[in-house]
Amino acid sequence: MFNLVIFGPPGAGKGTQSEKIIEKYQLAHISTGDMFRMHIQNDTELGTRVKQILADGLLVPDSITIDMLEEEVTRNKDVRGFIFDGFPRTVNQAEALDAFLEGKGCKVDLVLQLDVDQQVIKERIAERKKISGRADDDESKLVKRIDEYFEKTIHVLPYYQEQGKVVKINGVGDIQAIFGMISEAIDAAI
Ligand code: ADP
């Protein structure tokens, strides 16, 4: 198994690059944001619990997120590995993921950090809002999401840096060129 975490602030291009990675390396894609949105759309019990949290741009509590993720990993049998997109977002989630994967005899092999500065993020999300219609792409909610990122999520980085797993990629520029750098990092780690 080869397990990859794609890491970066909202609007860094995690979803875009994940699609390319999946196609080339045939990993199973797990996006906790997409999963939450699916639950909300389908009016599930979980969806009802998290709807307002997402709308406010806040993080869903760890226990809910971790349970949902572990279920999804377990459901995907016989895969070559996973790409975790939007997870882990807290050190607690990172520790839970390590323990969970260890129980399965595998680990996080690589963390790709997509590096994009705050001004670029704001511009990209303003553009995305026009087509995504995502309520949390509103300016006020975006500020909240960026705050959550710098308060809670950024600490996941040193956690993985200590394990020597992080490769930093410049997330600004041509999508294909960024994917080229990502491919090099994966090929070196796989
Ligand atoms: P983006 O990367 O653009 O911020 P996502 O689609 O990854 O968007 O996430 C959307 C929202 O889903 C987050 O703002 C948060 O409310 C919730 N969410 C997604 N992943 C997690 C997570 N790992 N922990 C807590 N909340 C999460």
Banded model confidence at residue 29, pLDDT cuts 50, 70, 90: very high
Out of 32, 82, 156, mutate this one to test ligand 1's pocket (max ligand atoms within 8 Å of CB): namely 32
pLDDT, averaged across the chain: 95
Mean pLDDT of 154-159: 97
pLDDT of residue 137: 84
pLDDT of residue 36: 98
Banded model confidence at residue 132, pLDDT cuts 50, 70, 90: confident
The torsion angles phi and psi of 182, rounded to 5 degrees, stand at: -65, -45
Does ligand 1 come within 6 angstroms of the Cβ of 3?
Answer: no
Active site residue 124: no
Residues 6+ away with beta carbon under 8 Å from 154: none
Q: Which CATH number fits domain 2-189: 3.90.550.10, 3.30.460.80, 3.40.50.300, 3.30.70.3420?
A: 3.40.50.300
pLDDT of residue 126: 87
Active site residue 75: no
| Structure confidence by residue, pLDDT tens digits, 93-112 | 999 999 999 999 999 999 99
> How far is Cα 168 from Cα 136, in angstroms, rounded to an integer?
27
Q: What are the extents of the domains in the chain?
A: 2-189
